[in-house]
Amino acid sequence: MFGRKKSVTGDRDAATPGEPADSAPSTTGPHDRSSVGDVARYYTDLGYGHLDLGSLVIGVPNGRDLNVALDPNGQPEFHVVTTVSRVIPRAFAAPKSAGQWRTMVAAMREQLEGQGAEVTVEDGPWGRELVAAMPGAVFRAIGVDGHRWTAEVRIMATPELAEQAAEEGREVFKHLLVNRGDGPMPVREVLPLTIPDEIQQALVKAQSQLAAQQQAQAYQQQMAAGQQGQPAAQARPQGQPAAQARPQGQPAPAAGTPAPAPSPTPTREQPRQPESRPRRDGSAMDRLRSTDDL
């Protein structure tokens, strides 16, 4: 069923004593897609659904939903959600030499601390895990360097559920499959996704709705400012996931889905909340997420 598994780590620089390591065991995912002979069978044996996005295959454990939303740059991103956590997987082009994840962690730490978050770096199964505590929310980033790629998940949860959310995020992370491709790409560029047609149609509709909403809000604020003799503020729409994607090998969610827990994200987006508009706001977390090379 499987081909020869490739180590996701390659050669690693020795970690400084006392610092979290950057390497992962060769038997621990994420895996290069070329190491898995039958992708559908891989996830079926796990009891997972999955969504194949070309450069990234996301496994969805039983009982979780997969939502697609627009990031602050209007690009699609996929969220594996429960009432406990929101997990956002991504993959980036990387150089042949190791160390990109270390650099990404340092950049995220600097940015989050500049926004007033309490940031620590912990030693996890893959090495460095960045953890940022913010009012009412905990953000965790887990990543590892592979063969010319870096895989990452970002996990959002409320403080009281942060540890459970971290385990849910690790479960998704270790079963990601990454296809870097052979073409040249700038390092730290997000690998392009191949979006299924039905999801693409939902995103196009969401983008049109967002544009109309922005125009309407801008007009209303300009009218209000004109009446008050004050400059109009820039419209900043709040958004929701653009669509819910149904992973292959996973049935549609059953009726009577439990109500979501309090929001685990500083953007006030709740897991399994009914989708209506693309999520897009200017919170501290969105400013972090809007940096493409993080």
User: Is the pTM above the cut of 0.75?
Assistant: no
Residue 8's SS3 state is: coil
Give percent of the chain with pLDDT exceeding 90.
51
Question: What pLDDT, in 10s, does the model give residues 189-205?
Answer: 999 999 988 888 888 88
pLDDT at 291: 44
Give burial (CB, 10 Å; 0-12/13-18/19+) of 197. Answer: exposed
Assess whether pLDDT exceeds 70 at residue 244.
Answer: yes
Question: What pLDDT, in 10s, does the model give residues 247-294?
Answer: 777 644 433 333 333 333 333 344 444 344 434 444 444 444 444 444
Would you place residue 230 in the very low, low, confident or very high pLDDT band (cuts 50, 70, 90)?
low
Assess whether pLDDT exceeds 70 at residue 101.
Answer: yes
Q: How far apart are CA 140 and CA 152, in angstroms?
A: 10
Question: What pLDDT, in 10s, does the model give residues 167-179?
Answer: 999 999 999 999 9
Give the sign of the dihedral formed by CA 42, CA 97, CA 185, CA 67: positive
Assess whether pLDDT exceeds 80 at residue 151.
Answer: yes
Select from 209, 274, 265 the least CA-distant residue to 74. 209
